[in-house]
Amino acid sequence: MSNREAIDTITGYFYQFDKTILELLRQDDNDNSICIEGIEDIDIESADETSAIQCKYYAKTDYNHSVIKKPIILMLQHYAEKKPSDIKYHIYGHYKSGQDKLEKITIESLKSNFLTVSA
């Protein structure tokens, strides 16, 4: 691993750490539990539901759907294995540019941008 790759990896861990701290501070209920590296990077369990949060940090990469395709597919696989469930999946990311390409994910955009393979 080059020094540059190590710096990028460590910065990604800081991004995840910062998001975890923010989620801890946002909790209104002291009975909620937070698990690091559970279903996803951060899992928050309340009496009503579980939030599974994936963090991606690609400060040197332009956003394209392919960048988050694998994490989206893994979330869908987990959902399919656990349904019916009270898990809500979230993905947060930081990219060099191109974030405007990702709008609210609908069934159609999910199929066309994340589940379709081009030949």
Count how many Cα atoms sit within 13 Å of the Cα of residue 95 in the half-sphere of its side chain: 17
Could you report the per-residue pLDDT of 11-22, keeping only the tens digit for each? 999 999 999 999
Closest by Cα among 37, 41, 73, 71 to 55:
41
What pLDDT score does 6 carry? 83
pTM of the model: 0.83
The residues spanned by each domain of the chain are 3-114
Give me the residues of the chain with pLDDT under 70, please: 1-4, 119
Q: How many CB atoms lie within 10 A of CB 43?
A: 18
Transcribe 41-52 into DSSP letters: SEEEE-SS-EEE
What pLDDT score does 102 carry? 81
The answer to whether 94 and 62 are in contact (CB under 8 A) is: no
The answer to whether 88 and 49 are in contact (CB under 8 A) is: yes
